């Protein structure tokens, strides 16, 4: 078995997402002594992105440039990444547990009849085998998985595996691979942006999430203000989304996004099991709720019992002083 790991880079608006660098760190855990090869698919030159992957620990990077790789499609990226896997014959392929990763890796695993582990939050080594740790039962327990033989495809949950130190003195080869990407049945005509500008929710270190207790779209304003002063993003419960206080792209939970920020501030959220499924692994949880019996307090590290419309302005004022 080769001691090489491929890391599939994922970019948004020309910048690699942080989870790409986390995936490099994950690959290093899988193959501490092996070669880490970054892969970037795009319709344009990706020299600077490739260099970033090298600064964060990749040994070399293969770029694939093709008009059919302008936006992600499972057919286009599937053909491109498959060709690199077949040429490089790695022992593992790692990428983020993002919408793209969740779509692409099972497709590749099925084509290559390989093992796959998704939503990995940590990796240990047992003998010479990587052990993949992933949450189950909505984050209430963790399971450890080993792929006994062959290629392993892995998706890692953003914000769980720390990136390696960025080092601009690192160098490595950047090569372009020509692949004829044909037979594309899906064409992305336009991307209509619904999510709010600013910090990406799934990669945010701080999230201020609002629930039905926020009562209106207007009521979300102080949450945006607090998120801004903390350099974070705004999220929401499904209760708030269903009530049309905010867009569904902000929904966190079982049927929304799964997040693991350093700090999660739940504002006017009761703590239904389906909401906890998306945020209970956050490192520090602060809950603001006027009901002292609210379930959210059972998982909160810090609880503030009070009216959110009184607590939030005080909190914003205090944070601004720091
Ligand atoms: P509520 O339960 O109504 O809670 C509002 C809270 O605000 C209360 O605790 C109240 O005390 C507090 N409050 C009110 N006014 C104030 C105030 N002025 N100051 C402070 N606190 C105040 N939910 C999700 O969030 N994400 C999901 O992905 C999700 N998926 C689901 C999937 C399925 C199949 C099902 C059946 C449900 C799902 N739900 C999901 C819905 C979930 O069950 C809850 O209904 C939802 O999370 C409730 O949202 P909430 O906490 O905002 O509202």
Query: How confident is residue 137, by pLDDT bands cut at 50, 70 and 90?
Result: confident
- Give residues with Cβ within 8 angstroms of 287, minimum separation 6: 265, 266, 269, 271, 294, 296, 297, 300, 302, 303, 304
Instruction: Give the predicted TM-score (pTM) of the model.
Output: 0.84
Residue nearest to atom 28 of ligand 1 (CA): 253
Residue-wise pLDDT for 150-203, tens only, equals 999 999 999 999 999 999 999 999 999 999 888 888 888 887 776 556 678 888
Q: How far does residue 262's CA lie from ligand 1's centre (Å)?
A: 22
Stretch 63-71: mean pLDDT = 92
Per the CB < 8 A criterion, the answer to whether 209 and 266 are in contact is yes
Q: Phi first, then psi: what are they for 280, rounded to 5°?
A: -70, -15
Pocket (CB within 6 angstroms of ligand 1): 211-213, 237-240, 251, 253-256, 268-270, 272, 274-275, 278, 288-291, 294, 307-309
Residue-wise pLDDT for 214-269, tens only, equals 999 999 999 999 999 999 999 999 999 999 999 999 999 999 999 999 999 999 99
Give the per-residue pLDDT at 198: 65
- What number does the ligand 1 atom closest to the CA of 256 have? 28
The ipTM (two decimal places) reads 0.99
Which residues pair with residue 145 across a beta bridge? 132
Distance, in Å, from the CA atom of 214 to the CA atom of 173, rounded to the nearest integer, reads 52
Stretch 106-126: mean pLDDT = 96
Residue nearest to atom 17 of ligand 1 (CA): 307
Residue to substitute in 209, 269, 299 for testing ligand 1 pocket (most ligand atoms within 8 angstroms of CB): 269
Per the CB < 8 A criterion, the answer to whether 38 and 24 are in contact is yes
Average pLDDT, the chain: 94
Number of H helices, E strands in the chain: 8, 17
Stretch 56-78: mean pLDDT = 94
Q: How far does residue 240's CA lie from ligand 1's centre (Å)?
A: 7
Strand runs (DSSP E) across 97-246, as ranges? Answer: 115-120, 122-126, 129-136, 141-145, 152-156, 174-176, 206-210, 233-236
73 pLDDT higher than 60: yes
DSSP run (H or E) holding 301: none
53 pLDDT higher than 70: yes
Q: How far apart are the first and last CA of the chain?
A: 53
Edge-to-edge strands of the sheet including 141-145?
A: 122-126, 129-136, 141-145
DSSP run (H or E) holding 140: none
Edge-to-edge strands of the sheet including 263-267?
A: 233-236, 206-210, 263-267, 284-289, 302-305
The neighbour count for residue 194, using CB atoms within 10 Å, is 9
- Give residues with Cβ within 8 angstroms of 36, minimum separation 6: 4, 5, 7, 24, 27, 28, 57, 58, 59
- What number does the ligand 1 atom closest to the CA of 288 have? 20
């Amino acid at each position: 078995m080769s001691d090489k790991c491929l890391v599939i880079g994922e970019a948004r608006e020309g910048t690699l997402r942080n989870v790409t660098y986390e995936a490099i760190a994950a690959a290093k855990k899988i193959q501490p002594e092996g070669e880490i090869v970054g892969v970037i698919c795009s319709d344009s030159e990706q020299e600077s992105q490739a260099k970033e992957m090298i600064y964060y620990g990749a040994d070399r990077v293969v770029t694939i440039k093709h008009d059919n790789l302008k936006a992600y499609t499972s057919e286009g990226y599937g053909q491109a990444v498959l060709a690199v896997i077949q040429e490089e014959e790695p022992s593992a392929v790692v990428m983020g547990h993002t919408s793209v990763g969740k779509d692409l890796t099972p497709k590749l695993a099925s084509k290559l009849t390989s093992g796959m582990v998704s939503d990995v939050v940590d990796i240990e080594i047992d003998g010479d085998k990587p052990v993949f740790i992933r949450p189950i039962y909505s984050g209430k327990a963790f399971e450890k998985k080993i792929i006994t033989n062959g290629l392993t495809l892995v998706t890692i949950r953003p914000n769980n595996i720390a990136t390696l130190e960025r080092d601009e003195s690192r160098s490595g080869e950047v090569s372009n691979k020509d692949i004829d990407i044909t037979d594309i049945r899906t064409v992305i005509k336009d991307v209509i942006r619904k999510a709010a500008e600013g910090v990406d929710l799934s990669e945010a270190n701080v999230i201020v999430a609002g629930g039905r207790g926020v009562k209106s779209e207007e009521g979300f304003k102080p949450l945006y203000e607090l998120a801004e002063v903390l350099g974070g993003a705004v999220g929401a419960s499904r209760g708030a989304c269903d009530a049309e206080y905010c867009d569904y792209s902000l929904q966190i939970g079982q049927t929304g996004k799964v997040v693991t920020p350093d700090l999660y501030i739940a504002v006017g959220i009761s703590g239904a099991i389906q909401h906890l499924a998306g945020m209970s692994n956050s490192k520090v949880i602060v809950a603001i709720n006027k009901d002292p019996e609210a379930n959210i307090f059972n998982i909160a590290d810090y609880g503030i019992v009070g009216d959110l419309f009184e607590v939030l302005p005080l909190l914003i004022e205090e944070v601004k002083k720091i």
